[in-house]
Amino acid sequence: MTDETEAVLPLAAEDVVTPAVWSARVPDVSWCPAPLLAELTPPFIETAEAEPRVLRAHAAGWRVLGASVRGKSHGHRGEHRDDALASVVRDDLMVLAVADGAGSSAPSRIGAAVTADLAVTRTAARFDADVSNADAVSRLGTAMAHAVHDAAMRLHELATIADVAPSSLRTTLVLVALAGDLMLVSQVGDGAVLVQKTNGDVMRVGGARETAWAGEVTCFVPDPCAMTQAAALRQVRAADVSLIALMTDGIDDPFHPLEQSGSALVSQWRDGTTDPIGVAKQQPMRSLLGDADAMLQWMSFEQRGEVDDRTLLLAWRSAPVHA
């Protein structure tokens, strides 16, 4: 039988698409603009600009591990990471935050770092200072809302000192607080919170997209609308929770929608993986829980078009819950 299949001619050299090559340059400018050096302490600056930034904490019944890494796009352009994360972890209170500075604003990394830090420290301080007879939801929710307001006011102060518009410090914020059997979630802009319950179910807590398109955020801290978004608290019974994950859009977007991929993600974080999720290219790895190297390896997954900063903050129970 005659083979009628035509031979496939090789592409001409000018027709071959060369894969993108990403470099990783050291940033060309200092992390902190000169006018703000007197406003931000050296330890704060050193922690915020660390690359990668790794956070570890523990308290009665909980362990916390987080990491924030510079995305390929920022590395290629020799820019600093815009993401930030922070925590206050005590036996009686746990407050976690991740933030993502608006990429269109050069100093937005300052806004993200300051907002994440103040969101957790001021939530704790205001919660401790509240001696009213209000219920726990009101006390904790009020502390969180005031903390976001404190962060917004501080960004306005820093903008004045640096002689820039407050909008140049814009940032998203995902804020979670647990006290006793109460867990509250507050969010401004994108990013996400995933929760695994003690029965194994995984759910996203709030944080629906503002628009149909990834990356289209219309409200940030310190915009006036931030207080309205931050006050839209979601409540979860803490005793039902075994794992909490906060993430910026650098993790959320590649695995969107989390309502479908959430269970697979939690399974990877807990148990490691040899199988990728969706079209992401991942290396085999061990459990992330308590292992910063494994977390950083997991965060190095490859996916076409996903070159943003990535921040993941995990909290999980280190002891079983007794009813």
pLDDT at res. 12? 53
Contacts of 28 (CB under 8 A, 6+ apart): 78, 79
- The answer to whether the peptide bond before residue 52 is cis (omega within 30 degrees of 0) is yes
Angle between helices 108-129 and 42-49 (to 10 degrees): 120
pLDDT at res. 8? 47
Cβ atoms of residues 83 and 99 within 8 Å = yes
pLDDT at res. 6? 47
pLDDT at res. 305? 84
Mean pLDDT per block of 10 residues along the chain (323 residues) reads 46 52 76 95 96 95 97 71 97 97 85 98 96 91 97 98 95 97 96 97 80 69 95 95 97 94 96 88 92 96 88 91 52
Give SS3 for 208.
coil
Domains and CATH numbers, the chain: 52-317 (3.60.40.10)
Cβ atoms of residues 91 and 145 within 8 Å = no
What is the DSSP annotation of 47-67? Answer: HHH-SSEEEEEEETTEEEEEE
Q: Which of 164, 163, 55 is nearest to 117 (CA)?
A: 55
The encoded tokens of residue 231 equal: 């006050």
Cβ atoms of residues 182 and 140 within 8 Å = yes
pLDDT at res. 208? 57
> What does the DSSP 8-state code read for residue 90?
-
Taking residue 52's Cβ as centre, other Cβ atoms within 10 Å add up to: 15
Query: What are the backbone angles phi and psi of residue 300, rounded to the nearest 5°?
Result: -90, 10
One-letter amino acid at 141 equals G
Q: Which of 40, 23, 87 is nearest to 312 (CA)?
A: 87
CA 150 to chain CA centroid, Å, is 20
The residue whose two tokens read 């592409």 is 11
Cα-Cα-Cα-Cα dihedral of 132, 138, 139, 143, to 10°?
Answer: -130
> What does the DSSP 8-state code read for residue 273?
B
